[in-house]
Amino acid sequence: MNDQDLILGSLLDDLAAEAMVLEPGDLMTYGDILSRLEQLLVVADGLGAGPLTQLLGGLKSIMEGLILGQIPDQAQGVAGLTEGVALAQSLLRGESGEHELGLYLAAQGLAEGAPASAPAPPPATDEVAAATMAETAPEASSEPAAPPESSEGETFADEDEELLMGFVTESLEHLQSIEVNILLLEDTPDDQETLAAVFRPFHTIKGVSGFLNLQDINHLSHALENLLDQARSGRLVVAGEAIDVILAGVDQLRQMILEAQAAFREKRPRRAFSTKALEDRIEAVLSGEAVAPAAPPPPRLGEVLVEKGLVEPEAVEEALAEQRERPDKPLGEILLSQGAAGPSEVAEGLKAQRAMAQGARQVQAQEVKIDTVKLDNLLDMVGELVIAQSMVAANPKVQAINDRKLAADLSQLARITTELQKSTMAMRMVPIKQTFQKMVRVVRDTAKKQGKAVRLLLEGETTEIDRNMVEKFYEPLVHMVRNSVDHGIESVEERLAAGKPEEGTVTLAAYHKGGNVCIEIRDDGKGLNRQKIVAKAIERGLISGDEGLSDEEAFHLIFEPGFSTAEVITDISGRGVGMDVVKRTMEELRGKIEIRSLEGQGTTFTIALPLTLAIIDGMVVEAAGERFILPTVAVVESLRPRREEYSTVQGRGEMIMIRGNLLPLIRLHEVVNDGHERPEPWDTLVVVVEHHGQRRCLLVDRLIGRQEVVIKSLGESLKDVKVVAGGAIMGDGRVGLILDVEGVFKAHENRRA
């Protein structure tokens, strides 16, 4: 066996090892074997192994037939594949020849003229063609099959649950990846790497949907894949209408996949979707025959070997000199014969060359998927552990034990539980990048509908936030971004008249500040019109006048239900529905919104959210003999006022002068208790708290300190107590109530009324 045969032998041995343990229906391993066969095709064709290349092409067809569900008997297909791998090894050793190859191909329906279970591609003519991921090579297969008449009536067997749920999860992730990459491709249509990143997910969705007999999903993803294949071959530019068609296809595939999931869960037939309109658009794009820029030439094997440090540059030059004299001899074979490279080096170089030609990056993600319910349960139990540790450490009997070893052990236990809590919290944290990237399409679609030129800038995409919070925060963020484009950014004509660039800018930024995650939505548009907002609020009876109304308080009027200053109602905004939902969601998330705006220059919305919904960073205070927790995000400062700073104002109650501003005084005793005690403010403490730009002084007996506590629900019986947002178990085992700042403000106003 010569050197090049050693390369094939090693790769075939790896394939045989995988084929021997292959189970029918194992889609993940199907994909791995298909990738390995494609790699073998590149090497075999490069080394001129004709019969073996033909056999490997047949095995690839069998593998594709298994993935697409074109081979009904999966066990028989796997057996045929295993037999073919054994024949490949025999061909390489010279123990079998073309006669045995012909018999095998005929038996598998792969011989010329025989009915095939899956169409066999012709042998690859060069390394780049062999590396192509197109599903089938014959010209007839490039057209999508006839669409299924209907999906109505299709149901799933219970045993398909795991496969279907896995397909739904993976496919939705693939569609999200496609959305992000297709918008990147719009800016760089000749980027082969990004093009491949869009093509591959469609290829995977098509294969698995075919296996699950989701024919409409399979057909549509195949049609979209064909469109992208035209772009990969340089016959189409992915721009303009092509981008719109692919995004529309992503939307429809998402609907179809979610419908399949819903139908299975509800044990009903799957609803049919019509894809004809979308397919007509695909055909219209394909018939345009736009010429794409020439793709960059594939990397040369010699360059790859030198770049990876597998072969010395001098050896490659010497081999190239010999190849110029013998152009029919592959470079890899010359390097092997000269002893400049071994079989493994050449094989690795060919593999890298193929990956570069496809523009593919193979990254092994060190991730394990975990059911979110299990993760939440783990976090709850760690929270219980932290509480139990605090209770043990605070137990008077334990504290009375004067033992250094016990003190050291308790200190070590506290460190371990703290680290465990941080680690479990980190498991729930996800980068905000994916959420931000979804906004690229929101801005693009909204700007296109409005006929505006808008660019989205992203900052701080690696900032992490609680996964549960991301899900609740997504819809409000979409609404605010749309508003920035619709209401904030002016038309092209208005911007030019104002001396601004034709293209408007919306910026999404995320960063950590003071134990919170801050998210900013900035635009360089026309800003908020204070006079218009105040006039509308007076007209609707929200306020009686703007005396003493700060800009912050005036701007927050836009969060009132039904409030809108839009003169024209569009399908995007103007109905006064939305910003009140944003406000309500922020309150549920224990966050707050600040607004800064300069008319003619732009608006900035800053949203401050806690790092997690499970733990709150709070200021512990005592009032009326009870302990309460104020979210630190709402605390501005604490102080002991002087007697002369206290006053009463008719119609406004008790006031405290702080830094030149009169702030209403709220006696926490009266809000949470019967209010018999009325301590003088200058004998106690006040905590200045803020909610939506409004500040109040909260009178308390004393400050206990700042503490992170695990939030506990108070149950159904106390859900209507508006001043309390939840409870927390303190170190001594007693419950501390977490105050809802807005609820406290409203309770005070109701008592005064």
- Give the span between the Cα atoms of 359 and 364, in whole angstroms: 16
CB 209 within 8 A of CB 164: no
pLDDT at 46: 67
Max distance between CA atoms of the chain, in angstroms, equals 108
Assess whether pLDDT exceeds 90 at residue 149: no
Q: Pick the most confident of 295-309, 401-415, 694-708.
A: 401-415
Mean pLDDT score, 122-151: 38
Helix (H, G, I), strand (E, B) or coil at 145: coil
Per-residue exposure over 480-515, b if at least 16 CB sit within 10 Å of its own CB, e if not: bbbbbbbbbbbebeebeeeebeeebbbbbbbeeeee
pLDDT of 243 strictly over 80: yes
Please report how the helices 192-211 and 27-46 are oriented relative to each other, as an axis angle in degrees rounded to 10: 130
What pLDDT was estimated at residue 134?
A: 35
According to DSSP, the β-strands at 626-631 and 735-739 are parallel
Tell me the C-alpha distance between 729 and 737, whole Å: 9
Contacts of 77 (CB under 8 A, 6+ apart): 24, 62, 65, 66, 71, 117
Residue by residue, DSSP assigns 619-670 as EEEEETTEEEEEEGGGEEEEE---GGGEEEETTTEEEEEETTEEEEEEEHHH
Place of tokens 């062999």: 130
Do 707 and 620 meet the contact criterion of CB atoms below 8 Å apart? yes
Summary mean pLDDT of the chain:
76
Class of 143-296 in CATH? mainly alpha
Residue 508's pLDDT band, with cuts at 50, 70 and 90, is very high
Q: Write out the two tokens for 27.
A: 């889609």
Is 263:269 a contact under the CB 8 Å cutoff?
yes
Tell me what pLDDT residue 290 has: 38
All residues at 6 or more sequence positions from 355 whose CB lies less than 8 Å from its CB, including other chains: 361, 362
Which stretch of 551-555, 715-719, 747-751 has the lowest confidence by average pLDDT? 715-719
For 207, residues 6+ apart whose C-beta sits below 8 A from its C-beta are 27, 31, 64, 67, 68
Query: pLDDT tens-digit profile of 271-288?
Result: 777 778 888 888 888 876
Give the Cα separation of 345 and 330 in Å (integer): 15
Are 492 and 498 contacting, i.e. CB atoms less than 8 angstroms apart?
no
Percent of the chain past pLDDT 90, that is, above it, reads 5
The residue whose two tokens read 């397919």 is 279
Rounded Cα distance between 366 and 375, Å, is 18
- Can you give the length of the chain in residues? 753
Q: Give every CB contact of residue 642 below 8 A, 6+ residues apart in sequence.
A: 682
Label each residue of 6-21 as H, E or C.
Answer: HHHHHHHHHHHHHHHC
DSSP state of 618: E
Q: What is the pLDDT confidence band of residue 577, given thresholds at 50, 70 and 90?
A: very low
By mean pLDDT, which of 119-128, 441-450, 564-573, 642-651 is the weakest? Answer: 119-128
> Which pLDDT score, from 0 to 100, does residue 138 have?
33
* pLDDT for 7: 66
The mean pLDDT of 5-31, rounded to a whole number, is: 72
Evaluate whether 689 touches 630 at the Cβ level (below 8 Å): yes
CA distances from 161 to 30, 267, 268 (A): 19, 11, 14
Identify the pLDDT of residue 520: 93
Selection from 67-76, 81-90, 594-603 with the highest mean pLDDT: 594-603
Give the pLDDT of residue 90: 79
Identify the top-confidence range among 325-329, 353-357, 403-407.
403-407
HSE (side-chain half, CA atoms, 13 Å) at 170? 18
The domain defined by 372-427 carries CATH number 1.10.287:
yes
Distance, CA of 629 to CA of 737 (rounded, Å) = 6
For residue 521, the model assigns a pLDDT of 93
Does residue 587 surpass a pLDDT of 70? yes
In a 3-state reduction of DSSP, which class is residue 448?
A: helix
> What is the per-residue DSSP string for 256-276?
HHHHHHHHHHTT-PPPP---H
Q: How confident is the model at residue 671 (pLDDT cuts 50, 70, 90)?
A: confident
Rounded to whole angstroms, the Cα distance separating 605 from 249 reads 33
Predicted local distance difference test score (pLDDT) of residue 65: 80
Coil, strand or helix at 603: strand
* Among candidate residues 109, 117, 33, the one with its CA nearest the CA of residue 74: 117
pLDDT at 506 over 90: yes
Find tokens 């030439």 and name the residue.
297
Q: Which of 87-96, 214-223, 343-352 has the highest mean pLDDT?
A: 214-223
Structure tokens at 314: 């001098």
Q: Is the pLDDT of residue 490 over 70?
A: yes
On the 0-12 / 13-18 / 19+ scale of CB atoms within 10 A, 113 is: exposed
Strand order in the sheet with 504-513: 454-459, 504-513, 516-523, 602-610, 592-598
Rounded to an integer, what distance in angstroms lies between the CA atom of residue 269 and that of residue 152? 6
736 pLDDT more than 50 = yes
Work out whether the CA dihedral 675, 678, 681, 684 comes out positive or negative. negative
Q: How far is CA 522 from CA 205, 479, 526, 607, in A?
A: 37, 14, 12, 11
Hey, which of 160-169, 347-356, 363-372 has the most confident mean pLDDT?
160-169
Average pLDDT over residues 44-71: 79
91: CB partners within 8 A, 6+ apart: 51, 52, 55, 97, 100, 101
Q: Look up the CATH architecture of domain 432-610.
A: 2-Layer Sandwich (3.30)
The pLDDT value recorded for residue 237 is 79
Say what the pLDDT of residue 122 is.
37
C-alpha–C-alpha distance, residues 354 and 345, integer Å: 14
CB distance 137 to 61 below 8 Å = no
Distances 529 to 552, 557, 602, 708 between C-alpha atoms, Å: 12, 12, 11, 40
CATH number of the domain at 615-752, please? 2.40.50.180
Using alpha carbons, select from 192, 183, 175 the residue that is nearest to residue 242. Answer: 183
Q: Give the per-residue pLDDT at 127.
A: 35
Most confidently modeled of 27-31, 123-127, 194-198? 194-198
Instruction: Tell me the CA distances in angstroms from 478 to 247, 489, 508, 582, 594, one per residue in order.
Output: 17, 16, 11, 10, 17
Cα pseudo-dihedral 54, 60, 62, 67, rounded to 10: -170
Q: What percent of the chain has pLDDT over 70?
A: 79
Rounded to 5 degrees, what are φ and ψ at 490? -80, 170
